[in-house]
């Protein structure tokens, strides 16, 4: 298929010449016949001319194919520089290469400018996320004295959103920030649960925790953040009923967080880990960012853990965290 595509491209590029040569041979044949030359001599000259043209065309096609192959190989290095481009064969090719060099230079300048802006934005967001924690902590202390549960609940949500922004900014540095150690899995689970204890009580959601002795190799800080995000989602979309946390008995080292919430639409399940995807539930909520599950999936991939979500609308959602992959 590649050869036929190449041949078709060559024919289109040299269509005029490929039409001109047979036409010249035809003229050559007609003129010879008009002068009543011997047919054998005429055909001999035509055949020699045809063979010469065929040989030149085959050689030119070979060079065309070789040039095409070299340009295909250059696709992997053209982002670095244009110095490896083949020497132009004529003025037109030189013009094209000058245009490519100009576009490449402009692209590099735009990339550098974009990288600079992105770095500045990330630095600003990091500073902002750290600075905003001070007034949040002060407000928390003030509200604790007044015992305004509703305002404290809203302030807690603000803290969670700030923490999400901070972790999102740190995503690029995640690999260098990892500190893998063996941990008691349910110790980290209980650490995340303590953060949401008031919400469990406030919403009257039953917590069923089937604690088990499970040790996993992971990063405590990042894994705790993932568990917090999953619990936050479970609590957000569970109006009544329970959240059950247990180890799957059919799969090795698989933690399950199962809720009795509103569930996820079947058509949304394949896309729930995409950045910015909110789905049907997110459009109903109007406040969903589509970042939480994306962060969870990205972090777990970096930690070599797996995540799988199954759900039935109106029945609930089951999140399965696979820690067995660390041993593969």
Q: How far apart are CA 78 and CA 98, in angstroms?
A: 14
Residue 291 reports pLDDT greater than 90:
no
In the structure, what pLDDT confidence band is assigned to residue 288 with cuts at 50, 70 and 90? low
Q: In this model, does residue 102 exceed pLDDT 50?
A: yes
Rounded CA-CA distance 58/54 in Å is 6
- Mean pLDDT in the chain? 81
Q: What is the 3-state secondary structure (H, E, C) of 19-40?
A: HHHHHHHHHHHHHHHHCCCCHH
In sequence order, which residues have a C-beta less than 8 Å from that of residue 132 and are 6 or more positions away?
162
For residue 308, the model assigns a pLDDT of 94
Q: What percent of the chain has pLDDT over 90?
A: 20
Please report the pLDDT score of residue 231 as a whole number: 93
Question: Could you tell me what percentage of the chain is helix, strand and coil, using 3-state DSSP and rounding each to the nearest 5?
Answer: 65, 10, 25
Examine the pLDDT at 115 and tell me if it is beyond 60: yes
Give the model's pLDDT for residue 259.
94
Does the structure show a pLDDT above 80 at 264?
Answer: yes
Q: Residue 234 in contact with residue 311, Cβ under 8 Å? A: no
What pLDDT score was predicted for residue 287?
57
What are the residues facing 319 on neighbouring strands? 257, 309
| Cα 116 to chain centroid, rounded | 21
Looking at mean pLDDT, say which of 11-25, 245-259, 285-299 comes out highest: 245-259
| Res. 328 pLDDT band, cuts 50 70 90 | very low
User: What are the structural domain ranges in the chain?
Assistant: 2-76, 179-327
Task: Give the pLDDT score at 326.
Answer: 47
Annotate 57-102 with DSSP letters as a single string.
HHHHHHHHHHHHHHHHHHTTTTTT-STTSPPPSSHHHHHHHHHHHH
* Per-residue pLDDT reduced to its tens digit, 127-157: 777 677 777 777 777 777 766 667 777 777 7
Helix (H, G, I), strand (E, B) or coil at 248: coil
The answer to whether 264 touches 279, Cβ cutoff 8 Å, is: yes
Among 50-54, 167-171, 212-216, the range with the most confident prediction by mean pLDDT is 212-216
Name which residue leads in pLDDT, 254 or 121.
254
* Average pLDDT for 176-182: 80
> 173 pLDDT exceeds 70?
no
- The pTM of the full predicted model, rounded to 2 decimals, is 0.60
Q: Are strands 306-312 and 215-218 parallel, antiparallel or unpaired?
A: unpaired
For residue 279, is it left (φ>0), alpha (ψ between -120 and 50) or beta? left
pLDDT digits (tens, 9 = 90+) for 25-34: 777 777 777 7
Has residue 83 got a pLDDT over 70? Answer: no
The Cα 319–Cα 311 span in angstroms is 9
Task: Say what the pLDDT of residue 286 is.
Answer: 53
Structure-token pair, residue 198: 């008031």
Q: Mean pLDDT across the stretch 180-205?
A: 90
Q: Cα–Cα distance between 26 and 13 in angstroms, integer?
A: 22
293 with 233: CB under 8 angstroms?
yes
Residue 72 has what pLDDT? 75
- Name residue 316's beta-bridge partners: 312
H, E, C per residue of 285-327:
HCCCCCCHHHHHHHHHHHCCCEEEEEEECCCEEEEEEECHHHH
pLDDT at 1 over 60: no
- The predicted pLDDT at position 82 comes to 67
Pairing of strands 306-312, 316-322: antiparallel
Beta-carbon neighbour count of residue 298 at 10 Å?
17
What pLDDT is recorded for position 159? 78
Topology annotation, domain 179-327:
Heat Shock Protein 90 (3.30.565)
Q: Pick the more confident residue, 161 or 79.
A: 161
Q: Which of 10-14, 132-136, 167-171, 208-212 reaches the highest mean pLDDT?
A: 208-212
In this prediction, residue 208 has a pLDDT band, given cuts at 50, 70 and 90, of very high
Short-list 324, 319, 322, CA closest to 230: 319
Backbone phi and psi for residue 259, each to the nearest 5 degrees, phi listed first: -120, 170
């Amino acid at each position: 298929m590649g050869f036929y595509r190449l041949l078709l491209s060559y024919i289109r590029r040299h269509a005029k010449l490929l039409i001109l040569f047979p036409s010249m041979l035809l003229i050559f044949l007609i003129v010879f016949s008009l002068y009543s030359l011997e047919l054998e001599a005429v055909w001999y000259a035509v055949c020699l001319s045809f063979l010469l043209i065929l040989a030149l065309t085959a050689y030119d096609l070979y060079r065309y194919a070789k040039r095409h192959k070299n340009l295909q190989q250059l696709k992997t290095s053209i982002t670095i520089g244009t110095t490896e481009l083949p020497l132009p064969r004529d003025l037109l090719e030189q013009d094209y290469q000058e245009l490519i060099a100009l576009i490449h230079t402009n692209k590099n300048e735009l990339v550098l400018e974009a990288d600079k802006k992105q770095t500045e934005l990330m630095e600003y967001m990091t500073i902002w996320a750290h600075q905003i924690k001070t007034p949040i902590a002060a407000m928390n202390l003030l509200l604790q004295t007044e015992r305004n549960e509703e305002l404290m609940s809203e302030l807690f949500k603000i803290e969670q959103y700030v923490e999400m922004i901070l972790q999102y900014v740190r995503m690029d540095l995640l690999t260098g920030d990892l500190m893998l150690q063996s941990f008691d899995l349910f110790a980290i689970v209980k650490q995340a649960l303590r953060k949401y204890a008031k919400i469990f009580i406030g919403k009257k959601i039953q917590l069923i925790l089937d604690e088990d002795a499970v040790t996993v190799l992971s990063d405590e800080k990042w894994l705790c953040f993932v568990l917090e995000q999953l619990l936050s989602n479970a609590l957000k979309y569970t109006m009544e009923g329970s959240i059950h946390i247990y180890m799957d008995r059919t799969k090795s080292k698989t933690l399950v967080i199962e809720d009795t919430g509103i569930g996820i639409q079947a058509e949304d399940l394949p896309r729930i880990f995409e950045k910015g995807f909110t789905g049907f539930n997110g459009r109903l909520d109007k406040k969903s960012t589509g970042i939480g599950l994306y962060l969870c999936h990205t972090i777990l991939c970096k930690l070599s853990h797996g995540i799988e979500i199954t759900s039935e609308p109106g029945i609930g959602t089951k999140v399965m965290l696979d820690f067995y992959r660390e041993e593969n």
